[in-house]
C-alpha cells in the first residue's frame, strides 16, 4: 500500500473522529467535508471516477451545504455548551462494541464467501481511461447497470424521493407567502371596518 492510500485513509479516519468530537457544529461540517473529499480520493484510487465525482457533487456540493445552511441559520448565536450536557462519553463504549461486532461480521463474511467477483485484471489495466464506454467504473457502465440490472431499485428510490419532496411541500408550503399576507391584510381591514362601525354606534 502506498502513500496515495494511506494519506487519504488517515485523513478519512481523523476527520470522522473530528466530526463527532468537534466543539462547534460548523467544525463538524468542515470535518465532514474533509471526510467526503478523502473518501472521493479513495474512490479515485479504486478507479471509480464516476463514484468519486458523484460523492463530491452530491454529498459535499449539495447535502453538506444544506447542513451548513441550517447550522448558519439556527445556531449562530448559541454557545455549544448551552445546548445541554455532552452525552457522548457515555455512549462511547457501547458504540465501540457495536462497531467492532459489525466490522467482525463483515470481515467474517468476506473471509468465508466466494461469491464476490473481483473485477478482471484487464479492467484495472484500463482504469486510467474510465469514462469511456465499456470500461470498469465508467459513466456509461454505471448508467447501463442503473437502468437495466438495477432498474427496479432505481425507480423505487426515485419514487421515495418524490414522496419526500411532495411531503415537504404539503408540510411547509400550503400557501404562498403572498397569498397569506394578502389574506391577513384582508382580515385586518375587515376587523378595522367592524371596529369603526362599532365606534360609530
Contacts with other proteins by CB under 8 A lie at: 24, 26-27, 30, 33, 37, 40, 49-50, 52-54, 56-57, 60-62, 65-66, 68-69, 72-73, 76, 129-132, 138-139
Closest CB 53 distance from other proteins, rounded Å: 4
For residues 12 and 52, which CB has a smaller minimum distance to other proteins in the complex?
Answer: 52
For residues 146 and 192, which CB has a smaller minimum distance to other proteins in the complex?
Answer: 146
Q: Rounded CA gap, 127 and 119, in Å?
A: 11
For residues 9 and 56, which CB has a smaller minimum distance to other proteins in the complex?
Answer: 56
Closest CB 189 distance from other proteins, rounded Å: 24
Closest CB 139 distance from other proteins, rounded Å: 5
Q: Rounded CA gap, 129 and 132, in Å?
A: 6
Q: Rounded CA gap, 161 and 79, in Å?
A: 34
Closest CB 91 distance from other proteins, rounded Å: 27
Closest CB 61 distance from other proteins, rounded Å: 3
For residues 12 and 40, which CB has a smaller minimum distance to other proteins in the complex?
Answer: 40
For residues 78 and 191, which CB has a smaller minimum distance to other proteins in the complex?
Answer: 78
Amino acid at each position: 500500500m502506498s502513500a496515495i492510500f494511506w494519506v487519504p485513509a488517515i485523513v478519512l479516519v481523523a476527520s470522522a473522529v473530528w466530526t463527532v468530537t468537534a466543539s462547534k457544529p460548523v467544525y463538524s461540517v468542515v470535518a465532514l467535508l474533509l471526510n467526503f473529499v478523502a473518501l472521493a480520493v479513495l474512490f479515485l484510487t479504486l478507479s471509480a471516477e464516476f463514484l468519486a465525482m458523484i460523492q463530491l457533487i452530491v454529498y459535499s456540493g449539495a447535502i453538506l451545504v444544506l447542513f451548513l445552511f441550517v447550522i448558519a441559520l439556527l445556531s449562530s448565536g448559541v454557545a455549544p455548551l448551552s445546548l445541554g450536557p455532552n452525552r457522548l462519553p457515555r455512549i462511547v463504549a457501547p458504540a465501540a462494541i457495536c462497531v467492532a461486532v459489525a466490522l467482525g461480521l463483515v470481515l467474517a463474511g468476506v473471509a468465508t464467501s466466494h461469491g464476490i467477483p473481483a473485477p478482471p485484471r484487464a479492467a484495472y489495466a484500463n482504469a486510467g481511461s474510465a469514462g469511456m464506454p465499456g470500461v470498469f467504473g465508467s459513466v456509461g457502465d454505471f448508467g447501463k447497470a442503473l437502468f437495466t440490472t438495477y432498474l427496479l431499485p432505481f425507480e423505487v428510490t426515485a419514487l421515495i424521493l418524490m414522496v419526500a419532496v411532495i411531503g415537504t411541500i404539503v408540510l411547509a408550503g400550503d400557501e404562498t407567502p403572498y397569498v397569506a399576507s394578502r389574506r391577513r391584510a384582508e382580515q385586518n381591514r375587515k376587523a378595522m371596518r367592524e371596529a369603526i362601525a362599532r365606534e360609530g354606534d
